[in-house]
Amino acid sequence: MPRPDAIRTPDACFADLPDFPWQPRYRDDLAGYEGLRMARIDEGPEDADRVFLCLHGQPAWSFLYRHMIPVFLDTGARVVAPDLYGFGRSDKPVDDGTYTFGFHRQSLVALIEALDLRRITLVVQDWGGILGLTIPPDMADRFDRLLVMDTVLGLGGGSTDGFDAWRRMHGEHPDYDMAALFMEYVPGMSDKVAAAYAAPFPDARYRAGARRFPFLVMTDPDMEGVEISRRAARWWSSEFRGDSFMAVGEEDKLIPPWLMKRMHEILGITRPPLMLSEAGHFVQETHGADVARAALAAWAEDPEG
């Protein structure tokens, strides 16, 4: 049973997920989060030489990585794809105020430490990057590669028209049709795939985390997470000694290509980004396997540094 301050999406909601054969593994003993269950996909040898840590954003969950996971596993690596609290199969605190930048970030730090993950390739998009990109500076010995897609560091420098519309929609219609939203952002998505994305959120009680995220994005300089994000930006550009690869959805309205170009500079990536002319915000959904293969090929043939 979940803690009294949280609820848990019934397992029946996740029946018959398309192209997602992996069974979740759980931890309810993360330091500082005792009794709150975090789910993750955790495949491949636990003693593998390489770990791909795949972090999703809002309002997705680890299902987003289903096209990339097999490509990473084929290298003999371990793949860990957690569901953030409030998403996927992880427990969902019911109080919207529980969800803060620090709450989410520290839960990922606790998971990395609990699993003792090392030689990590960090794979991020959306909030997975807003959170995940701030973590390696504090545990640099655990990370040596980065695969980044359509995300930013929250530096408090304003917003885009697309994101302003996204935030406004969440304020005006917090209980929107989740499946319909995914079908709008990914034209041609099947009803079954859209239903899988919506599966963790059977009604409004389960949506506290999804409701909060747009209002946590650090668009103003006094917001929580700005200082640690600015410190991370300095670290990526001057101290990271690993290898990086960026893929950009050219049709992304939330994080447009010009902003990703700026992120390319901030993160100190020297290799040109992979520009995906037909991709929008959810690159993993439409081009996941191709991006994974392209990153692996680039790292094998022309390693940076």
**Contact, 63 vs 91, CB < 8 A?**
no
Catalytic residue among 83, 91, 150, 252: 252
Q: Which amino acid is at 90?
A: S
56 is catalytic: no
Interhelix angle for 208-216 vs 161-172, to 10°? 140
Q: In this structure, are strands 38-43 and 78-82 parallel, antiparallel, or unpaired?
A: antiparallel
Q: Which amino acid is at 15?
A: A
Task: Give the Cα separation of 40 and 46 in Å (integer).
Answer: 14
104 is catalytic: no
Q: Is the alpha carbon torsion for 259, 265, 267, 273 positive or negative?
A: positive
126 is catalytic: yes
**Contact, 78 vs 52, CB < 8 A?**
yes
Residues 6 or more apart whose Cβ sits within 8 Å of residue 155: 218, 226, 229, 230, 233
Catalytic residue among 126, 150, 170, 287: 126
Residues noted as catalytic:
126, 252, 281
